Chains A and B, each alone.
Chain A
Amino acid sequence: MQFHRAHVLVCHGTNCSLKAPQSIVDAFRGALKEHGLEQEVRVVETGCFGLCEQGPTVVVYPEGALYCRVTPGDVADIVAQHLLKGRMVERLLYREPALVKTVQTFPEAQYFQKQVRVVLRNCGLIDPESIEEYIARGGYLSLGKALTTMQPAEVVKVVSDSGLRGRGGAGFPTGLKWRFAARAERQPKYVVCNADEGEPGTFKDRLILEGDPHAVLEAMAICGYAVGASRGFIYIRGEYKLSIAMLETAIKRAREIGLLGANILGTGFDFDVEIRLGSGAYVCGEETALFESLEGGRGEPRIKPPYPTDRGLWGQPTVINNVETLANIPHIIEKGAEWFRGLGTPSTPGTKVFTLCGDIVNGGLIEVPMGITLREVIYDIGGGIPGGRQFKLAQTGGTSGGCVTEELLDVPMDYDSMAKAGTALGSGALLIMDDSHCIVDIAKSFARFFVHESCGKCVPCREGTKRIYDIVDGFSRGRGTARDLELLELLARTLYMTPLCPLGQTAPLPIMTTLKYFRDEYEAHMQGQACPAGVCPGLGSGLTKEVGAW
């Protein structure tokens, strides 16, 4: 093994790579060679570092200097100043939003101070294509521990005791799922990783897979051992090209060194993983719809019961877990249930990865203990609202989540508290909006999304989402009436109470919450009155066609 005196970590997550980090990597390699430093300094292409808004980011170790918005032109400076002379390049260092002062190293940044990195601990630090780096950071230790020192039932018990709940949105206790599947007698059983991340505003699973794919593979193997399955599937969105590439490499490497495949670590345990792609259907994030799709059909949800642990993929007992849920598993096995329970809140232990987007200074990927308040996330981590505007609302949990206003910012973020507040923690998307936005316009965007994504199987969702859109669209054109407002409420209530699957049942949440908190804005749009934010008239008449074009 070769030692390097310094490491240059270039974020290669999709968000940063858009801004051409490959050319940054090339520039570094060129400059290092020029200075004869290529043996001393190693350039690593890492997964997402989290600070997407400030990308492309480059971190130089051992100092941990965090350079933001780096361009290929800046590389020569970093090499000449920092790596050769040991002086940080002040002008590129991360600047705390509210402060004039620059932050020298990333642990100092407030953005990172409130974060606790369990799931993301390797993201941005290791080369995701290198299984060696993953192993060097303790990877596959937990699989080894489980296979060689624990009975399957013990593994299930540790996961149960940890109190881990599904991070895909529903918050179902993971240990319970595993126990049901372990108890099922029929073979074969399957482990499915749900990477069909479709909730608008959510990109955590993509970045986890881009940055630390082995964590998910290790977890799936552990799950397979615990429940008695030897075959795993990762159902991932077809659009996630980089994640797919990283997973493919990871699976190949893990097979090569015997961490996937037959007789893993000589224990006689067989487990292998296949990647399957989605083809553009949000509803396939629903577990039974995902099974339908994976089996080669229309992604239409099934009736439950039977539940997946009883009859899942191809009618066989199946554990299906979200990417983030799985990424927690190796740490839980390694450090134990007690350690995990020490994080987060009693009802929802652990951390949660959120994706921050919209009108926020530091958009990106963060990981915080469960129970943190939205206010802390927006202002302490996210750096607040840019451009001197006022916070108007945040939508939590993606488009199927509810909207919260200023007065709810201090609700602790865990599954139960959020549900009590009339919204959802959901997948971890946080969409922040300032006061320049029109609520009717936003609601129309939500409504259109569900018209497009409803699978069409059950009546309330198929017809109801369309009628909700029709009514909200009417408001945006000044045609809304008081009666329409009543109908909208009736439809929202009906959708909340009656559809077949969670897509339909959560579709009305954004409508219900905007009606609850911003009714006056809907009323202002009635009967030809104005759009207070001045957004709606400007949109013109082109928008109904959009639904048609879809």
Chain B
Amino acid sequence: MFPANPQYHYEKEVEPKVISSMPTTPEPVLARVDSIIAQHRETLGALMPILQGIQQELGWIPEAAMHRVAEALSMPPDKVYSVVSFYTLFSTKPKGKYVIRVCESAPCHVEGAAAIIAELEKQLNIKMGEVTPDRQFSLEFTSCVGICGVAPAIMVNDEVHGNLTPAMVSQVLSKYK
């Protein structure tokens, strides 16, 4: 083969937004993805239940899983990513084992969420939106999760902790350490 036109033959890359710690997602993980797809495939409007299943199962949605979903539902991957990137409960990056979601909506804000955030950041030594180096904890904002009756509140994975004061933060965290 002769050299192609060098002017047009280049593969520049724009760094994709989705970076996985694993360059390729191992087959056993994809097998789990496939079984989730199989479970919902016939559902009307299957995309959301499938993505929710993957998020639940893996704790995040790897790029390879999105390709699998796209293929299974005969939709382009940019549409899948479009949906994934729209919803805050979907994550395209691996998260900590415990995802701490802090509500900063008005009712929690009024009851002192800012102080809770400051304490969480201090205790975990990470900022909001980050993951601890040992991948134990992620700190995230969430919109109101309807636990305003016990504001300020946080969710650690599916568990809710309410009526918090900064002093209670370490106690809550110790439950997961």
Name the A residues within 8 Å of B31 (CB-CB): none
Query: In the complex the two chains form, what is the Cα distance from A344 to B148 in whole Å?
Result: 26
B86 and A299: CB pair below 8 A?
Answer: yes
Q: How many residues of A contact B (CB 8 A)?
A: 65
Q: Is B145 engaged at the interface, CB distance under 8 Å to the other chain?
A: yes
A550 and B141: CB pair below 8 A?
Answer: yes
B89 and A238: CB pair below 8 A?
Answer: yes
B113 — nearest CB in chain A belongs to which residue?
Answer: A445
Among B49, B51, B140, B146, which residue has its beta carbon within 8 angstroms of that of A202? B146
Q: Restricting to A438-461, which residues have a CB under 8 Å from any CB of B?
A: 441-442, 445-446, 448-449, 452-453, 455
Q: A295-B45, A297-B83, A357-B148 are in contact. Are A280 and B104 (CB under 8 A)?
A: no
Q: Is B120 engaged at the interface, CB distance under 8 Å to the other chain?
A: no
Chain B nearest CB: distance from A47 CB in Å?
Answer: 13
Name the B residues within 8 Å of A238 (CB-CB): 52, 89
Q: A279-B87, A281-B86 are in contact. Are A293 and B48 (CB under 8 A)?
A: yes
A549 and B128: CB pair below 8 A?
Answer: yes
Q: A299-B87, A364-B149, A548-B129 are in contact. Are A201 and B106 (CB under 8 A)?
A: yes
B139 — nearest CB in chain A belongs to which residue?
Answer: A549
Query: In the complex the two chains form, what is the Cα distance from A431 to B44 in whole Å?
Result: 38
B87 and A449: CB pair below 8 A?
Answer: no
Among A18, A197, A200, A455, which residue has its beta carbon within 8 angstroms of that of B105? A200
Query: In the complex the two chains form, what is the Cα distance from A105 to B87 in whole Å?
Result: 45
Q: Is A203 engaged at the interface, CB distance under 8 Å to the other chain?
A: yes
A281 and B44: CB pair below 8 A?
Answer: no
Among B90, B129, B147, which residue has its beta carbon within 8 angstroms of that of A279? B90
B147 and A452: CB pair below 8 A?
Answer: no
Name the A residues within 8 Å of B47 (CB-CB): 296-297
Q: Is B20 engaged at the interface, CB distance under 8 Å to the other chain?
A: no
B104 and A445: CB pair below 8 A?
Answer: yes
B158 and A399: CB pair below 8 A?
Answer: no
Query: In the complex the two chains form, what is the Cα distance from A391 to B149 in whole Å?
Result: 19
Chain A nearest CB: distance from B165 CB in Å?
Answer: 14
Chain A nearest CB: distance from B166 CB in Å?
Answer: 14
Chain B nearest CB: distance from A273 CB in Å?
Answer: 14
Q: How many residues of B contact A (CB 8 A)?
A: 50
A18 and B150: CB pair below 8 A?
Answer: yes
A52 and B149: CB pair below 8 A?
Answer: yes
Chain B nearest CB: distance from A361 CB in Å?
Answer: 13
Name the B residues within 8 Å of A15 (CB-CB): 147, 149-150, 162
Q: SS class of chain A's interface: helix, strand, loop or mixed?
A: mixed
Name the B residues within 8 Å of A355 (CB-CB): 148-149
Chain B nearest CB: distance from A270 CB in Å?
Answer: 17
Among B49, B55, B129, B146, which residue has its beta carbon within 8 angstroms of that of A240? B146
Chain A proximity mask over B98-120: 1 for CB below 8 Å, otherwise 0: 00000011111111001001100
B110 and A279: CB pair below 8 A?
Answer: no
A455 — nearest CB in chain B belongs to which residue?
Answer: B86
Among B108, B127, B146, which residue has its beta carbon within 8 angstroms of that of A239? B146
A453 and B128: CB pair below 8 A?
Answer: no
Q: Is A34 engaged at the interface, CB distance under 8 Å to the other chain?
A: no
Q: A279-B89, A281-B86 are in contact. Are A449 and B143 (CB under 8 A)?
A: yes
A279 and B107: CB pair below 8 A?
Answer: no
Q: Is B161 engaged at the interface, CB distance under 8 Å to the other chain?
A: yes
Name the A residues within 8 Å of B148 (CB-CB): 200-203, 355, 357, 363, 429, 431
Chain A CB within 10 A, most for which of B44, B142, B143, B151: B143
Q: Is A241 engaged at the interface, CB distance under 8 Å to the other chain?
A: yes
Q: Is B82 engaged at the interface, CB distance under 8 Å to the other chain?
A: yes
Chain A proximity mask over B18-56: 1 for CB below 8 Å, otherwise 0: 000000000000000000000000001111110110010
Query: In the complex the two chains form, what is the Cα distance from A449 to B109 in whole Å?
Result: 11
Q: Is B155 engaged at the interface, CB distance under 8 Å to the other chain?
A: yes
B48 and A314: CB pair below 8 A?
Answer: no
A449 and B106: CB pair below 8 A?
Answer: yes
Q: Restricting to B56-89, which residues have a CB under 8 Å from any CB of A?
A: 82-83, 86-89
Name the B residues within 8 Å of A539 (CB-CB): 114
Q: A280-B89, A299-B86 are in contact. Are A431 and B110 (CB under 8 A)?
A: yes
Query: In the complex the two chains form, what is the Cα distance from A299 to B82 in whole Å?
Result: 11
A-B pairs with lowest CB-CB distance, top 10:
A549-B129, A296-B47, A200-B105, A52-B149, A280-B88, A200-B144, A203-B146, A280-B89, A279-B87, A15-B149
User: Can you identify 21 A-B contacts, CB atoms within 8 angstroms?
Assistant: A15-B147, A15-B162, A52-B149, A200-B105, A201-B148, A203-B148, A241-B158, A277-B49, A278-B89, A280-B90, A293-B48, A296-B47, A296-B48, A357-B107, A359-B110, A445-B109, A449-B106, A452-B143, A453-B143, A549-B129, A549-B130
